[in-house]
Amino acid sequence: AQSVTQLDSQVPVFEEAPVELRCNYSSSVSVYLFWYVQYPNQGLQLLLKYLSGSTLVKGINGFEAEFNKSQTSFHLRKPSVHISDTAEYFCAVSSYNNNDMRFGAGTRLTVKP
């Protein structure tokens, strides 16, 4: 079975600074990888996903992530964050052969003025 580890539970950062949210996964089979964002009192919204092909994936709101198979990582980055990016971010993995999606524990990104 696959699993996901988000290495930081909280990431505080100042507005307009770059940010990286780290995600490592483990799986014995090929996987799909996802990043979701959850704003307070809302459901999850898909930021981006890696299915195959180019290892650099661009998503909404200026976010991008890079799939690194050798390091089993899928870190999320944004070159310049805004106050409105304050939210909880979840990395998730789903294997090719089933629809069971496993989520990481989440990283709370707080953007300070």
Partner 1 sequence: KAGVTQTPRYLIKTRGQQVTLSCSPISGHRSVSWYQQTPGQGLQFLFEYFSETQRNKGNFPGRFSGRQFSNSRSEMNVSTLELGDSALYLCASSLEGRRLTDTQYFGPGTRLTVL
Residues that bind partner 1 (CB under 8 A): 32, 36, 41-46, 49, 51, 90, 92, 94, 96, 98-106
- In whole angstroms, the minimum distance from the beta carbon of 46 to partner 1 comes to 5
Residue 13 or 32 with smaller CB distance to partner 1: 32
How far is Cα 108 from Cα 104, in angstroms, rounded to an integer? 12
Residue 22 or 49 with smaller CB distance to partner 1: 49
Residue 91 or 111 with smaller CB distance to partner 1: 91
Torsion of CA 16, 90, 45, 70, to 10 degrees: 90
Q: What is the largest CA-CA distance in the chain?
A: 44
- For residue 60, the SS3 value is helix
